[in-house]
Structures are given as structure tokens and as C-alpha cells.
Structure 1
């Protein structure tokens, strides 16, 4: 039944001599739905440019690549679609396929000359998109075809930074084994370890520390990974960081992880830091003791017990 609908759909447009735009929209629809029969009818009619674009510069090939319809991608390419056209945003068909994790489409596009060099408006490349969304197989394919492992967004975020943000351990291991810099910071000083700690990805934190991540790498505002994890109460992350003896004293921003944990009210976090040697008698830049920042009785008992222990 659907094939009759396809013919009927095409007939209506051809019969009423519509302009190219509605026919192009039909091609976009076919590419989006993976309707190969309709797409072939439209392309073979001679009334649809294979590289026709919408108002944002999107082509049917980009649409088919985004949705992973390999048969439609193949048809469009074999009919002469330009693989490396860029959308208004700068994204290409390869970018969309990589972003969505369609490794078969990525491989096919490479076989017809797709380039990894194009960037979108924020500096994103196909590799960065695949890392951001955790598509390890696509990352592997892109690297094999010459993608630059040191690509960065215009704000400095690297492939490993984006993978760490998402907690994609398999992607991170692949990037590290391929030469990614584990300590490459963003322009604001945020390192991959820092962002993994902020997001609570303890396994990522563990692997990065084992591969040489700087335990006390601080953002430009002085906040370290430990301080951020203490604020968030990510105790699994804190336990991993503490194995590498991060700074427990005052940071350049004038506070400590213990002060942050007390302010956040996480009893377990406070206990972990005290057990690791954090000083409950340390004053922050405002001359405040950790105990002066809370009314939580459980936390106060922990702090007083540690103070007493240190004085004895």
C-alpha cells in the first residue's frame, strides 16, 4: 500500500507543476523517514536537485545521515550529492552521522571522500561530536581516517574533555591510548578531571588519575576537582581523589574542601575529608572555621571530635 502512496504523492506535485521547494521538502521527508522508494522517484524525476537545501542549508544527505538511513545515504551519494557541503551552522553529513553514532554511515561517507576537517560555529568537528555523545566505535573509525585527536571547541574543550563530561569511559580509554592529553584544559582552566569530578563520574576520575591527571588542577577561579566534588557531595569521586593525596588545605580562592563540604551539609563527605587529614581548625579567607559554617549537629560532632583528637 505504501508504494501507491509514494506514486500518488509524486503525481500530485508533478501534476500541479509545483515549484522545487515542495518537491525538495518531499525529498527531505523521504530522507528523514528512510523511504528509499520515494526518494528514488523524486531524484529520478529530474525536478529535484540532489543538493537542494532548506533555509538553514540542510541537505537531504545531511538528514539521511542524521537518522542513519544508510540506503538513502547511498542513493543520494551515488546520484551525486556533495558529501562535504556544510549547513549554515557549519555541520556536515559526516558530523551528523558521527553525532548520532551511525558508524555504518560514517564508514560509507569516508569511502566517498568525506573530510574530518570541517568545523561548526562553536568549533565542533565530527570527532568532538562523537566523543561528546559517547560513540566509541565512531570515534575509532574517525581516528583511523585521520581525525585530529587534539581538536578543540573554540572554548578549548577537547575530545577527552567532552568524553569526561559525559562519563564515557570506553571513549576516554580509546582517546588516551591514541595520544590524547589527559590534562588539556579548557580556556577557563577546567581540566578533564575537574569536569568528570563535577559530574560525579568516579570511574572516569579513577582512570584519569591512573593515567597521570593532575590531582590539584584548578580552574581559573581556584576551584579544584576535590573542592567541586565536596560541594556536590560526590563521595565516590572524593574517595578516588583522596587515593592520590590532593591538597586539603586552603586553595588560592581562600577556602578548602572541608569548608565546602560543611557548607553543603554532607555528613559523609565531611567524615571522608577529616579521615584523610583535613584540618578542622583551618580558617578560610573570611577567617571562619568549618564549624562556624553549620548548625548540623552530626557535622559539628565530627569536627569537634577531630579538633579534640588533634589537640591531644
Structure 2
């Protein structure tokens, strides 16, 4: 009976040699051991094992209470049980409070603890929170998920961890921005690379119709333009070349391609990167202007020689009146 009764305790904790004349001493030792564990637990909850320790200690305490009653334990041993029970209640209460806080959100911002940890890049804390199985794709009041925050702050390890635990890569915030776009805006090249490798979509449009390549232009990140496009280019793959063409031809809600946007914003480095990747300077905007006309219209002087080198016909008509680039420059006082 004694061996059978202690079998579960023996298995859950460490192995003990049960000898009949040592039963009472072992009961005290077992309780004391659990007491020490719970004391440590109360002082500093360890999220890797706290839940397991509490569950195990509760079962052990229940078994020991029964055993002590059967074996007529001393007052000293009963006091151990009383303390252990009190500490277990405290530990359970703190554990419940901690786990509740980890899954709660700030009513003003909608930020969860997971969001805040992704902002600061607290990798180990994020690991522990994920073990509690929170809604990893929860969006705050601005539509941002934990992955958005990790990408915006360039925390690469956190990005990988979140995606490994099934974070949605292409979730959009209230502005229509994905995690990839936020990484581009912040200029985090390595984060962009990771998200691209994890299959982040590049053609998703935000509320202005901008795709990932547009955002590279707007933020003057020509190095990221190449990062996104060269990852798609393969001379032996028509499908890959088709994907690149779609990115280069993608238009925002005003009808501008990334190259057109580079010209309007006077971003020479972005223009060079886009043209070298195959952007077509002959494409026209909604008013019928090609890239050279736009350079003339917006006074992008540095872009004109570059565009000339890619255009066979530099006097082609554009706009509603069929004006040349020179005439367009004159019309707009450039």
C-alpha cells in the first residue's frame, strides 16, 4: 500500500527509495522540497515551468495531505503542509494575474504585452508569452500586429519567431501597410530580406495604392528596391520575370508606376535601380506623359540624361496636346 501510494509522487518529483521506517521523514522532506519550489516561484515566476510546478505541487500536496492523515503526522509536519498550501494559493493567484496581464490590452492603444515586447525587441519575453498561446495576430487600435511592430523596429529574431508561430505575414494596418512596408519605411534591410524570404507579398496596395516598390522610392531606399526585385529575377524563369514586370508596372491610385514616382520625387538612385531592373520609361501616366515628359514637367534635371540613354525616341508626343518633352518643360516653366 505504501509503495503504491507514493508511486505517483516518486515519479513526478525525484526518485526516492521508500523504506517503511522512513516514511514519516520522507513525507516531511517531500513537503519541504515542494515548499522551497513554491517559495522560489512566488518570488520570481518562471514562465517556462511555473504552470507545471504549480500543477505538480498541487497534486503532490493533495497526496501528502492524505498520507499524513493516514500516518498520523506530527504537528511539525502538519505545519509544513499548512505553509505549502498557503504558498500554493498565493502562487496560483499570481500566476493567474500574470497570465491575465499578458493577454490583456491597453484600452487606449489596443497594445498587448506582446506588442510592447516586439517594440523593445525582448526576444526571451516574447518566447514566454507565446507559450501561453495568445492571439499572435491581434491588431491594436491602429491595425498593427506584433509582427508589424517587430518589423518597424528591425528586430529580426522576433520577426522569425513570430512567423514560426504562424503570424500572418501580409496582415495590413489601418493605412493598408504590411510588415514588409513598415520595414522598408524604417530602412531595415535585414528585416526586409527575412520577410521576403518568408513569402511577404510585394504587390499589396496600401490606402494610396502604393506597393512595396513604391515605398522604396518614397523613402529613397534604392538598395531595398534591388533587394526586392533581384530576389524575383531569374533569367531562366519566365514566371519570375513576369513577377518583376508586375512590380515595375504597378500603379498607385494616381496612375504612377514606381519609376514615375522616382522622377516626380527627384530620386536619381531609385531611378537608376528601377531602370537597371527593367522599368519601361515609355510607360505613360493618366495624362499621357511618359517618364521623360514627367522629368520635364517636374524639373527633374538629373533624371533627363539617364532617361535619354534608355529612350530611342526622345521627341515622342505626350499629354492631351501631343507635346514633346521640351514643350512640356516650357509649358510648366521648367
* Length-normalised TM-score, structure 2: 0.60
State the match for 1:243 in structure 2.
Answer: 276
Q: Structure 1: how far apart are the matches of 2:325 and 2:152?
A: 38
Match of 1:227 in 2: 260
Deviations 1:277-312 (A, max 9, x none): 1643133324332223447xxxx9xxxxxxxxxxxx
Unaligned runs of 5+ in 2: 1-42, 44-92, 233-243
1:80 aligns with 2:100: no
Separation in 1, partners of 2:297, 2:125: 50
Corresponding residue of 1:5: none
Provide the secondary structure at the position in 1 that maps to 2:248: coil
Q: How does 1:150-161 map onto structure 2 within 5 Å?
A: 150-161=170-181
| Partner SS state of residue 282, structure 1 | coil
What residue ranges of structure 1 are gaps of 5+ in the alignment? 1-39, 41-75, 301-312
Bigger CA radius of gyration: 2
CA gap of 1:243–1:250, structure 2 versus 1, over 3 A, is closer
For residues 165-201 of structure 1, give each alpha carbon's deviation from its aligned partner in whole angstroms, at most 9, with x where no partner exists.
2222211111121121222222442110111112110
Write the distance in 1 (CA, Å) between the matches of 2:259 and 2:94: 50
TM-score under structure 1 length normalisation: 0.64
Instruction: Select the residue among 266, 269, 283 that pairs with 2:303.
Output: 269
Cα offset, 1:95, TM superposition: 0.7
Q: Which has the higher helix share?
A: 2
Q: Deviations over 1:4-23 (max 9, x none)?
A: xxxxxxxxxxxxxxxxxxxx
Q: 1:282 to 1:134 in 2, by over 3 A?
A: farther
Aligned length: 222
Cα-to-partner distance string for 1:62-121 (whole Å, 9 max, x where unaligned): xxxxxxxxxxxxxx9757232011112221111111123232332232234443121112
For the 8 Å contact 2:250–2:258, the answer to whether it is kept is yes
1:266 alignment partner, SS class: coil
Post-superposition Cα deviations, 1:226-254, rounded to whole Å, max 9, x if no partner, equal 01111222222111111232221252412
Deviates more, 1:262-271 or 1:127-136: 262-271
Listed as ranges, the matches of 1:102-113 within 5 Å are 102-113=122-133
**Is 1:181 aligned to 2:189, yes or no?**
no
What is the CA RMSD across the aligned residues, in angstroms? 2.5
